[in-house]
Amino acid sequence: MPSHYRETGPEADETAFIRVENQEEVNMKKSVILGALAVAGLAAGAAHAATVDDIKARGKLNCGVTTGLVGFAAPDAAGEWMGFDVGVCRAVAAAVLDDPTAVEFVPTTGKTRFTALASGEIDMLARNTTWTFSRDVDLKFTFVGVNYYDGQGFMVPRELGVSSAKDLDGATVCIQTGTTTELNLADFFRSNNISYEPVPIETNAEAQQQYLAGACDVFTTDASGLAATRATFEAPDDHVLLPEIISKEPLGPLVRHGDDEWGDIVRWTLNALITAEELGVTSANIGDMAAAAGNNPEVNRLLGTEGNLGEMLGLPADWAVKAISVAGNYGELFEKNIGENTPIGLARGLNAQWTDGGLIYSPPFR
């Protein structure tokens, strides 16, 4: 039946079709609707185009984080948010508001995180979120950098006796919905001609509960997330991380498209933490180094003792000093929260500085 007709009775013939409107009218209405959507989109972009002004007026940064992943973002016994991603939020708050505690942490799931950012409920998203083409281009988000290079892995009970993900034919798998891991899992099993039964879960806490209860044979997510989750178990050695890493998962903070000023601030705050480690600026020596210009011009520019980089961002000259002073440089933040000397025990690996064979690298401060 043509789309511009509707039937008025169960036994109608061609005379019982009523012409609703001609195709020209349909096309005109479509044009009006599309035009309205475009205007609405522009209005929404304009409404979000002064995020930094909103933050200053509000007096706090609304930062989206995970619902709880120890080492990355989770509240401690006193309810204070701690972790590697939390440190990025606090560094940005220090740079913009001169107060690393002026942060409202908003827990988000794989399904709710993007809506929260797009709607303006949060100013930035700093959780284990992978930079992908569709999230950048189709969902209209700007990833400002990578603070952790990861890949998807698998965790199984040791008693299962499995040594490779290719031996998981017919396994039940706990998988967070609305994530890249859900898609990667399907690709991996299909390409290896094996089958699985998904057990959908919403949060990492739910995944942990279901996995330990035996509702699934396998838990899959980013390898860092598996290490963080296993570290919370009463008997972590009873669980094995399988050797396969089946994807690239560049994780990093993101903001909305259309607000370049705010994107620059978040991007260069992350870069400041990375560059500080490369140049040997630490929480222990930053006070002395910021007190007077030294012999290294890039250190001076980073710390605001020469040049006008802060002014370019619309921030004070010592914005980076404030950001780095919160919890130290990138390496200090890593080691304190997720490094080899923590229960999570992650080696730097790809997340070592480029000078040490890793991928962590910042554009120059000049």
pLDDT at 18 exceeding the cut of 50: no
Closest CA to 189 of 168, 174, 172: 168
Q: Could you read off the pLDDT of 304-321 as tens digits, one per residue?
A: 999 999 999 999 999 999
Confidence (pTM): 0.83
Name residue 142's beta-bridge partners.
255
* Arithmetic mean of pLDDT over the chain: 88
Q: Give Rg (Cα) of the chain.
A: 25
pLDDT at residue 314, as a whole number: 96
- How far is 339 from 358, CA to CA, in rounded Å? 15
Closest CA to 211 of 230, 185, 196, 227: 230
Name residue 254's beta-bridge partners.
125, 143
What is the DSSP secondary-structure string of 137-192?
HTS-EEE---SEEE-EEEEEEGGG---SGGG-TTEEEEEETTSHHHHHHHHHHHHT
pLDDT at residue 179, as a whole number: 86
Q: Could you read off the pLDDT of 31-47 as tens digits, one per residue?
A: 433 333 333 343 344 44
pLDDT at residue 26, as a whole number: 36
Among 58-62, 151-155, 293-297, 351-355, the range scoring the smallest mean pLDDT is 293-297
- How far is 68 from 83, CA to CA, in rounded Å? 10
Strand pairing category for 17-19 and 5-7: antiparallel
Contacts of 14 (CB under 8 A, 6+ apart): none
Q: Which residue has the tokens 């690709």?
A: 187
- How far is 307 from 224, CA to CA, in rounded Å? 38
Q: Could you read off the pLDDT of 167-209 as tens digits, one per residue?
A: 999 999 999 888 889 999 999 999 999 999 999 998 888 999 9
Three-state secondary structure string covering 207-220: HHHHHHCCCCCEEE
- For the chain, list the domains and their CATH numbers: 60-149+251-356 (3.40.190.10), 152-247 (3.40.190.10)
Closest CA to 113 of 85, 90, 87: 85
Are 109 and 221 in contact by the 8 Å Cβ rule? The answer is: no
> What average pLDDT does range 56-60 have in this prediction?
97
Contacts of 175 (CB under 8 A, 6+ apart): 181, 182, 185, 198, 199, 200, 201, 220, 221
Are 259 and 307 in contact by the 8 Å Cβ rule? The answer is: no
Q: Kindly report the CA angle at 331 between 326 and 335, in degrees rounded to 5?
A: 90
> What average pLDDT does range 329-347 have in this prediction?
97
